[in-house]
Structure 1
């Protein structure tokens, strides 16, 4: 099963943008993710459309954070990505004729909806500022961590 790592990747990029005083080019962001600048531009364009980042063209151009990290939640970022599917499991058939499969579908549907509601409620409580605070705590404690484990732009 292939995992959708876009939320993790985008949060990573947004925290890099929070740390930067200047616009960050797609190439530098792609390096942070070990990815392709085209993929970064495509993803960041969606975040720009959602008002989370801005872009600047030309020499010295790149991406900047446009949202308030204290008010922007991980759920906001998740939604800006189009609310990707949270679970890889699902029903074998959406409209089964078998009564047993119908019963299975109801139980799975209810359980997955409850789990999704809990996850989205939790994501709503996590802000970009809280993630940045965790990063800064880790950075402060990094005296015992080899410097190559700290990815600076």
Structure 2
């Protein structure tokens, strides 16, 4: 899974988990939903567990489950738990010590920080319950399939 895909995949999986809030779901089952390896799911979900969004139980009958309802989880919380940024620029240092390059990087960094502040505020205002509502009336009846 590419790093920039982690937020999208985590949101996808969390919405499906919201369909079965009372049931622990294994890493293997989740991996099948999104076409990846269970180890990738465990690594990705470690940050969500540390943030208190999901919990996990090892062993037979174990798996991942939500710790709160979809209306109590917003997109910014998930993004933060994953350590993700949606807006990033990879400024390369081509001319170390060049004052022009330093000025360009500072301007781009400032714009990126501003863009991320605006984006964070928007993401904080969108709950997973709202995303689920955007899926439509069939959301609660639809079951994810293995890829």
Verify same fold: TM over 0.5: yes
Which structure has the greater CA radius of gyration? 1
> What root-mean-square deviation, in Å, do the aligned CA atoms of Structure 1 and Structure 2 show?
2.5
Matched, 1:68 2:69: yes
Q: 1:152 to 1:133 in 2, by over 3 A?
A: farther
Q: 1:62 to 1:101 in 2, by over 3 A?
A: same
Counterpart in 2 of 1:139?
138
Shift of 1:16: 1.1
Instruction: Output aligned runs, 1:60-139, within 5 Å.
Output: 60-82=61-83, 84-93=84-93, 96-135=96-135, 137=136, 139=138
Counterpart in 1 of 2:43?
42
Q: Note if contact 1:17-1:24 (Cα within 8 Å) is conserved in structure 2.
A: yes
Counterpart in 2 of 1:143?
none
Counterpart in 2 of 1:151?
144
Shift of 1:12: 0.9
Q: Note if contact 2:55-2:67 (Cα within 8 Å) is conserved in structure 1.
A: yes
Q: Note if contact 1:90-1:108 (Cα within 8 Å) is conserved in structure 2.
A: no
Higher relative contact order (CA 8 A, sep 6+): 2
Secondary structure in 1 matching 2:55: strand
For structure 2, list consecutive stretches of 5 or more residues without a partner in the other structure.
none
Secondary structure in 2 matching 1:134: helix
TM-score normalized by structure 2?
0.82
Q: 1:139 to 1:94 in 2, by over 3 A?
A: farther
For structure 1, list consecutive stretches of 5 or more residues without a partner in the other structure.
141-146
Q: Note if contact 2:74-2:128 (Cα within 8 Å) is conserved in structure 1.
A: yes
Q: Note if contact 2:18-2:69 (Cα within 8 Å) is conserved in structure 1.
A: no
Secondary structure in 1 matching 2:64: strand
